Amino acid sequence: MDFFEAIKNRKSVREYSDKAVSRDLIEKIIDAGRLAATARNEQPWEFVVTSDKETLKRICDMCPNGPFIKEASYLIAVFSKDTKYYIEDCSAATENMLLAIEALGLGGCWVAGDKKDYAENIRKMFNAPGGYKLVSMITAGYPRKEEKPRAKKSLKDILRWEKYA
């Protein structure tokens, strides 16, 4: 899929089919994340991937806005060392992975991590080192149905040249 097509077609998918996703595809997605831009080339991220249905259900039960988590084929937890720009760095990695998910014909959804009351419990669940932060989680799988991207504001509505008029 063309890069700009992947950007235009990316959407949050919250309904997944039972079709198996290969580990090879998940590794491609993680590879896209690790190649993201990062301040001072810190690369503070580490990724934990799970497909265990009991683990997905436990995470789902902790996340009030994530009832779909238990249906995903995989969940990618994005952890970071506590660095100055951990949110920016790991958000860039998360978006790279979401675009890779779209380009590979899968569906995914960004689930908040940082500053959520469940973040520490999920950190412990995955045995992430103390001092690491859960920045985000991404569900991944084949969509159960065709989803359309939501409408976005037009370029003319958000672009300013030189300054606000």
Q: What is the CATH number of the domain that holds 83?
A: 3.40.109.10
Instruction: Evaluate whether residue 121 is within a structural domain.
Output: yes
Task: Reply yes or no on whether the pLDDT at 45 is more than 90.
Answer: yes
Question: What's the chain's length in residues?
Answer: 165
Can you tell me which residue has the tokens 């790279």?
96
Instruction: Evaluate whether residue 108 is within a structural domain.
Output: yes
Instruction: Evaluate whether residue 138 is within a structural domain.
Output: yes
Q: Average model confidence (pLDDT) for the chain? A: 96
The mean pLDDT value for 39-66 works out to 97
List the Cα angle 25/49/6 in 5-degree steps. Answer: 40
Instruction: Evaluate whether residue 12 is within a structural domain.
Output: yes
Cβ atoms of residues 153 and 13 within 8 Å = no
Number of domains in the chain: 1
Reported pTM: 0.95
For 93-115, how does the pLDDT look when each residue is reduced to its tens digit (9 = 90+)? 999 999 999 999 999 999 999 99
CA–CA dist 74, 56 (Å, integer):
8
